[in-house]
Every structure is written in C-alpha cells, then in structure tokens.
Structure 1
Amino acid sequence: MTMALATVAGTTRSILLRDVNHRISQLLTQETGEFANFVDQGVDPATGGPFTDPRRLLEVFLQRQYSDPDEELLGLSPAIGPRPHVIRQSRDIPARIALYRDGDALTRIHASPASSGTLHRPQGEIRWAKVPIEPSGASFVVAFHADHERAVADEAFRTLLAISGVALLLTTGIGWAVAGRILAPVRIVRTTAAQLTEQDLTRRIPVRGRDDIAALAETFNAMLDRLERAFAGQRQFVDDAGHELRTPITIVRGHLELMGDDPAEREETVRLVTDELDRMSRIVEDLLLLAKAERPDFVRPEPVQLGELTADVFVKARTLGERDWILDPVADREAVLDPQRVTQAMVQLAQNAVQHTVPGQRVRIGSRDLGSRLEVYVADSGSGVQEQDADVIFERFRRGTARRGSRAGGAGLGLSIVKAIAEGHRGGRVELRPTEGGGATFVLVLEET
C-alpha cells in the first residue's frame, strides 16, 4: 500500500511539473509570436507609419501588454558599456527576483545566440525566450519565473503525500482489525496443533460459519480423525504384534530352561523350538508384507490372461491338503493386475479354506467376468463364518471368536494380507459371501479401468 501510494504521489507530481513546463513553453511561444507579428504589422501611433526606431517599437508594444504575475516582458537595446539598455513595463516585480535588476543575467541573455533557454540563478530559475530586431541589435525578451508554478505543484505533491499517509494509517488500522478477525480461527488451528500429542488426539476445532476458514477447520478436524484412527490402529497393532511374538518366545524359553540330558527329550525340545521359531519367522514376514502394502509399488499391474491365472492358482492350491478340489468356470479374458500378488492372495485363501475344512470336503476355485469388474474366488464347504466375526476377520491379529474347525490357527494376518493385496489394485476389495449348502466364499473383486 505504501509503495502504491508513493508511486501515485510521485506520478502526480511528475504530471503537474510536466504541465507547468508545457504551459510556460506555450506562454513563451505566444508572447514571442505576438511580438514578431507586431514587428511586421505594427504602426507607430505618433506617425501613422511603420516603426523606424527599435526603442520606440519596444516601448509601444510593452505599453499594450498585460503580463502574468510571474512573467516579465523586457526590451533590450545596445548601449555603451557591457550591459544593454533595459526597457520594461511599469509594473511591480519583487526586487529579489526581478530580472531587469540583474545586469549579468540580461547580458548573458542578450549575448546568447539561442532564441530560448533556462537561466539558473540563486534567486530562482527563469525560462526565457527572445526575438531579435534586425539590424539594430535590439531584442524583445520574455522571462517567466517558474519557481512559483513549481511550488504549486510541490504543494499539491505534499498535500497528496499527507492524504496518502492518513489513508495508509486508516487502511493499516482497518486491515489489522479485519485480519485479526479473519486469522483468529487460524490461530486456533495453530494452538490446537501445538497442543496435540500422540497421547491426546481428541481435541477438535469448533467450526463456525460456511467460509474458507470454516472449511479449513473441517479439513483439519477430518485430518485429526484420520490421525487418531491411525495412532489407535498403530497402538493396537503394536500390542497385538507384541502379544503374538511373546507367546512363541515364552514357549521357546520354557522348553530350553526345562530341557534335560536325555537325547530323546533334547530332540523333541529342538523340534518344538524350531517349530516356534518358524512360526515367529512367518509372523515377521507377514508383518513386513503388510508394511510394504502402504508403498505405491506394492502391486505392479500388467496384462494377464485371467483364465490361465485361475488355473495356475488351482494347480498350486491342490498341494495344500487332501480336499475335494474343483475348478469352477473361469473368465476367459485379459485383465490388468499383479499376477504374483493375486496368486499370493488366492493361495492364502485356499490355505485358509484347508485350515477350516476336513479331508474330503469340497473347495472350489474360479473366476467371473462381470463386465465392469472381475471376480476371483475361493469357496469352501466348511462351517462358514459366524455373523459376529464377519466384520473383524480381515483386521490384523483378529480371528473369529468361533473357530470353524479344530485345525484353525495362525497369527491372524492371512486375511489382512489378502485385503491389502485386493485394495492395492485400483478399486479392489475382498468380500465374504455365504456358500450355497454351507461354508464361506472369499471373493477378490477387481474393478476394470
């Protein structure tokens, strides 16, 4: 604002000074033009004929002129000595600035070959123009004292500066008050953010109005909701992971502490310890896989034949256990997906079906083309999933409250991995559906883009 007002004031002053210079130039041109016409066409009132004496010509012309307050009209004629003889109007010019009293300045003007110019004196600047009267050596001089006109422009400039200063102060005060009211919610956001800790994410910003600040507060509150859920999930994840890893560690330590010298007992203890270490290794690998699920390159889609992929999964799944494996109809089309991750998820679902069925029970694997989406599924004929467990079995370290078979076990990460793989594909998800005749069907739904 200061720069803008200063620029306006400076520009206004420049325009005013330019107008002053233009007006002075016009006045000098007008006066010299009138004298030149008078020289050519003037008549001596005493004789009724043309002027023959330059001094008489200058005296008659000056008597008929009405000068501006800051203007001097002078006649200069040659005289004996260094200074010319001055003919002037009978009007009062302040002695401190009068040009007719400054012999040195008149001598310079009279001797100058130029027809106009600017004279800088301690008393002030003078703009002048002259018309020589040939061949007498006399001349007519118009002198304009520009200081008063420039002072008017400078006074207008100072007035504009004063008005701009007052406007700047008023604008600053109003802007300060308005900005304070506008930024008050932002300060609340900053204060709330400063008070947030990992232990306390419950604070929220009150939302008032429907402006951009209210939208900012709503966005900030939504971010806090996501952070609170993320931290809660992280704490739960750490607690569950610690619990799952603590159990095999306790088993290993207990068996090692109680291990005797009997070779058979030592062999059995080593077998149990190795089994528990393998289980810990699987838990750690699953945790690392779930951590990678947050990365953008977790899945790498590429064009694959869905029917061939489904058949490959079926061949691999048949080695997981003695079940009645059936390959349902497959989708004979090309799909864009990550074949390795989808195979991993389907094998995990097949392993899950084996754990919750007994030898001889049916497990079906297939795929469907539904136009805008694709489905790949594993359906078993076990006892199914209890209704109260359907919402939790896809969470990490969560298992159904009612086991579907005596062989059920694991750390509860398998279905979480399946969910992460499905959601890693754009628009993908995993669904639990009942199987006709009893059992559970897990379906990977992949949207086509």
Structure 2
Amino acid sequence: MIQHGHRVLQKLTGRMSLALRVAVLTTAAVAVTLSVVSGVVFVTVRAEFESSMDDSMIRRANAAASKGLGESLLSSQSATALAYIGIQPFVVESGQLFASADNASTEYAKLKGYRELEVSTGQRDHSARTVTIQGIPHRVVAVPAGAGRALVIVQSMESNRDALERLKIILLLASTAGVALAGLAGWAVATNGLRPVRRLTEATERVARTSELTPIDVTGRDELARLTTSFNAMLLALDASQERQRQLVADAGHELRTPLTSLRTNIELIGQAADNAERHLSEEQRHEIMDDVRAQLEELTTLVGDLVELARDEPMHRDPEPLDFADVVRQAVDRVRLRAQDVRIDVDLSPWMVMGEPQLLERAVTNLLDNAAKWSPPQGEIRVRLRDGVLTVSDDGAGITPEDLPYIFDRFYRSSEARTLPGSGLGLSIVKRAAERHGGTVEVESPPGAGTTFRLVLPEAPVQSV
C-alpha cells in the first residue's frame, strides 16, 4: 500500500519542475499536519465539553439526591423551572421510571436503560451517556438516590453542539489559510533557494550550446555554493585541458611541418629525376637524398611516438609489476651506447625495487641519456648513478641557460641552440610524465659552463609479506 502510494506520488510529481515539486510536497506536508492537529483539537475540545458537563450534572444530581427525592423535586413547578435551564429530572425505582411532572413527555420516558438500572441497584456509582431527542443531542446522567433508586438528569447539549460547529468552521478556515500560506511560502523558498541550481543549469546548457567555459559567480557558503565552486573548478579544468589539447595540436603541426616538407622535397627531386633524363642524379646525390629521407623518417617516427605517448591521459596500469630500476637503466644504457659511440658512459648502479611500467621507465631513462649524449662534447663522458632511488645523469656539455631552465620540461620547448639539432622537444616532457605517473619527481641542475645533471627520483616498492 505504501509502495503504491509512493508510485502514485512519484507519477504525479514526475513531470513537475523541481521548485513546483518542493512547493507541492511542502503544501501536502503542512496540509496533513494541520488536518491531524485540527482533528486532535476538535476531539479534545469535544471530550472536554462532555467531561465538564458530566461533572456539573453529576455534582447537581448528587446535591439533589442528598436532600431527598420528594414530590417537590418532581412537581410540575420544579420540573418547569429545571426545564427552563435545560434540565429534566427523573427517578428510576425498582426498575421503573416515573415522574410526577405533568410535562414529562413520552420521549423522556424512553430514556430508561441498563446503565441507569445498574446505578439504581448499586452496581454503578454513576453513569453518563448521550442520546438524541427530537434531533437534539442530550446528556443523560444517573446517580444513586437511596436503596433501589437512581436520580436521572437529562440536559440538552445544543449549546455544546453549536460551539463545536463554530470550532469546526474556525479550524477549517485556519487550516485552509495555513495550507495556502504554506504553498506560497514553499514556492517562494523553492524559487529563491533553487536559484543557484537554475544558474548551474543555464551554465551547463550554455557550455553544451556554445562550448564557452566561463565560470559563474558564487554566492553564500551553503551546499549549493560548494556545488557551484566545484562546477567552476570543473570548468577551469576542462578549459585547461582543451587549451593543452589545442596547444599540443598546434605545436605538433608546427613540428611535423619540417620533416614532412623535407620528405616532400626529396621525393619531388627523385620524381623529377625519374621523369626527366636530363636531370639524372649521380650515385652520390641519390645516396645523399636517401640518407636524408631516412633521417627525416626516423625523426618523424620519433615525433609521432612522442606525441602518442603524451596524448595518453590514462593513469598508470592498474596492476604494475615489481621491477629492479637498475635493470631498466642498464637496458637504456645499452641502447644509447649503440647510437652514441663517440661518448663514454660511466655507470654505477645499486638495486632499487619499484612498482611500475618497464617500457615507460626505460623510455624516460633513454631520453635522459640521449639528451646528455646530444649535448656532450666529442669523447665526453656521461655519468649515470643510482643510489637509494635517485638516478642522476650528468654530462660535460655547455649547460642550460638560466632563461631556458624553467621551461625545459614543457612540451615542444626547444632552446635557441637546440633548434638546429634533431629532436622534437618532447623527450624531457615524457621524462616528467613518467616520473609523475610513478609517484616520483624529476629535477635539473645546470651551473653555467659546468654541464647538466638530471635527478629522477622514484619511490621504493612496498615490501610484500609472504
């Protein structure tokens, strides 16, 4: 039954706006509360009226019974005087109802009941009940009046009925006014309280319609203000992400333009030589062009790989494997030695267990070593050390200028000296990303004219209990 009522209420309010729903539910709650309160007040007042009338009638009946039940009480003159104030006396004796008053009607003669008989026989100390006579409610009270006798007093409740009717109208009017005021107040509170929600809705619709990520104003310090602040933070993060994507695309387009232009030029030369016999290329020229094409293809391949790596925003693998960082460094050193044979690499490594991705870590270390080999002088030395999770890669190059030092980990950033050398400007960005994805850091130190030292710090893998 409760579930059915809940479904009906949900169906009725499902198509309403949130403000109207709050107002309707508030009004319904107030209406139910006022109905219960009004019912309790009405029943309590009615019971109080009956209790007060019973106490008064019982007190007067006991006073009359204590003075004796003679002909004077039931005489025509006494009965008329009592009837004038709404009281009609009777006596029940030996199970029979009698009254000497001439105006005792047949209706009153029918009032004898088992309760009054029980009072006359001493089974009850008093009785009280309500009967209807000629359409008017009357209260019937009986008290003992000697052996085998009971005095019965009947009093009209017309005044109580009229008072209760007036009370019913007052409660109905007050409840109606209260429900109306509750509906207006609920609508006003819902409208004003949900204003920040409407602003958020409008901002969301604006973002979906125009793609403008403009934050909205925050007012107050309540939960809605916190929701607005969180929404603004989401907008700022989304805007920053879009800006990074735009910058990545712009920088990638700029970097891809150079190798693609060189490739197109070389291919056009080969095509023209093939189509025109007068433009025949010598063996030396052909080898030179092919070497240039291979170099541009290698640079393009490296650039595309770096872009793919940096474009990945997913977190580190959910189940990283434990590995010795020293083994990763050795593999990277062996790879760099094959292509940087004019420099010497001095290696001193200590075991250091980490949890991570070996391919990403090896690429980061390789980038550090390639950077050191590129800037080292011929027959120079690269020093690689691993102690307590700190990998240092030092070279004897000219170092990094103070102007370039804060930006070397930015994507596509290349110093003025590096723009004439092969590279995409993404290698150190990949190193920084690998460090952050493994919970580590990377730092650089480059005194003027004293070479450059990179420090890659990785946390140790937690010890697994057997």
Judging changes above 3 Å, is the alpha-carbon distance between structure 1 residues 211 and 332 closer, same or farther for their aligned structure 2 residues?
same
Q: Is the 8 A contact 1:299 1:338 kept in 2?
A: no
> Which residue matches 1:95?
none
**Cα deviation code 1:5-61 (max 9, x no counterpart):** 43146314413422421441453366347646865x5436xxxxxx6xxx6665599
> Which residue matches 1:357?
376
Match for residue 282 of structure 1 among 270, 281, 302: 302
AA aligned to 2:27 is T
AA aligned to 1:110 is K
> Which residue matches 1:237?
248
**Cα deviation code 1:186-224 (max 9, x no counterpart):** 666665665558988585556778888777766665555
Query: Alignment RMSD, CA only?
Result: 4.8
AA aligned to 2:68 is V
Match for residue 401 of structure 2 among 365, 373, 386: 386
Distance 1:67 1:2 in 2: 50
Gaps in structure 2 of 5+ consecutive residues: 1-25, 117-126, 275-279
Q: Is the 8 A contact 1:62 1:89 kept in 2?
A: no
Q: Is the 8 A contact 2:74 2:99 kept in 1?
A: no
Count of residues in correspondence between the two structures: 411
Judging changes above 3 Å, is the alpha-carbon distance between structure 1 residues 124 and 392 closer, same or farther for their aligned structure 2 residues?
farther
Q: Is the 8 A contact 2:398 2:448 kept in 1?
A: no
Match for residue 385 of structure 2 among 344, 366, 370: 366
Q: Is the 8 A contact 1:382 1:439 kept in 2?
A: yes
> Which residue matches 2:36?
10
Q: 3-state SS of the aligned residue for 1:422?
A: helix
Report whether the alignment pairs 1:151 with 2:165. yes
Match for residue 390 of structure 2 among 342, 355, 375: 375
Judging changes above 3 Å, is the alpha-carbon distance between structure 1 residues 389 and 108 closer, same or farther for their aligned structure 2 residues?
farther
- Greater Cα shift, 202-211 or 143-152: 202-211
How high is the TM-score relative to the length of structure 1? Answer: 0.70
Q: 3-state SS of the aligned residue for 1:385?
A: coil
Judging changes above 3 Å, is the alpha-carbon distance between structure 1 residues 42 and 202 closer, same or farther for their aligned structure 2 residues?
closer
> Which residue matches 2:425?
412
**Cα deviation code 1:39-93 (max 9, x no counterpart):** 5x5436xxxxxx6xxx666559977998997x64432679xxxx97667799xxx
Report the CA distance between 1:433 and its aligned residue. 0.9
Judging changes above 3 Å, is the alpha-carbon distance between structure 1 residues 324 and 281 closer, same or farther for their aligned structure 2 residues?
closer
Distance 1:87 1:415 in 2: 123
Distance 1:250 1:241 in 2: 14
> Which residue matches 1:401?
416
Judging changes above 3 Å, is the alpha-carbon distance between structure 1 residues 403 and 111 closer, same or farther for their aligned structure 2 residues?
closer
Judging changes above 3 Å, is the alpha-carbon distance between structure 1 residues 282 and 127 closer, same or farther for their aligned structure 2 residues?
farther
Report the CA distance between 1:361 and its aligned residue. 0.9
Distance 1:283 1:306 in 2: 26
Report the CA distance between 1:185 and its aligned residue. 6.6
Distance 1:377 1:186 in 2: 53
Report the CA distance between 1:345 and its aligned residue. 1.0
AA aligned to 2:255 is E
> Which residue matches 2:347?
327
AA aligned to 2:242 is F
How high is the TM-score relative to the length of structure 2? Answer: 0.67
Report the CA distance between 1:240 and its aligned residue. 1.8
**Cα deviation code 1:139-173 (max 9, x no counterpart):** 61434514134224324414533663675478469
Q: Is the 8 A contact 2:90 2:97 kept in 1?
A: no
The share of aligned pairs that are identical, in percent, is 26
Q: Is the 8 A contact 1:310 1:366 kept in 2?
A: no
> Which residue matches 2:452?
440
Report whether the alignment pairs 1:164 with 2:178. yes
Judging changes above 3 Å, is the alpha-carbon distance between structure 1 residues 129 and 270 closer, same or farther for their aligned structure 2 residues?
farther
Q: Is the 8 A contact 2:445 2:454 kept in 1?
A: yes
Report the CA distance between 1:175 and its aligned residue. 4.3
Q: Is the 8 A contact 1:320 1:354 kept in 2?
A: no
Report the CA distance between 1:109 and its aligned residue. 3.1
> Which residue matches 2:131?
119
Distance 2:36 2:180 in 1: 17
Report the CA distance between 1:360 and its aligned residue. 1.7
- Greater Cα shift, 126-135 or 277-286: 126-135
Report the CA distance between 1:325 and its aligned residue. 0.8
Judging changes above 3 Å, is the alpha-carbon distance between structure 1 residues 124 and 318 closer, same or farther for their aligned structure 2 residues?
farther
**Cα deviation code 1:88-110 (max 9, x no counterpart):** 799xxxxxxxxx76x45x45532
- Greater Cα shift, 137-146 or 202-211: 202-211
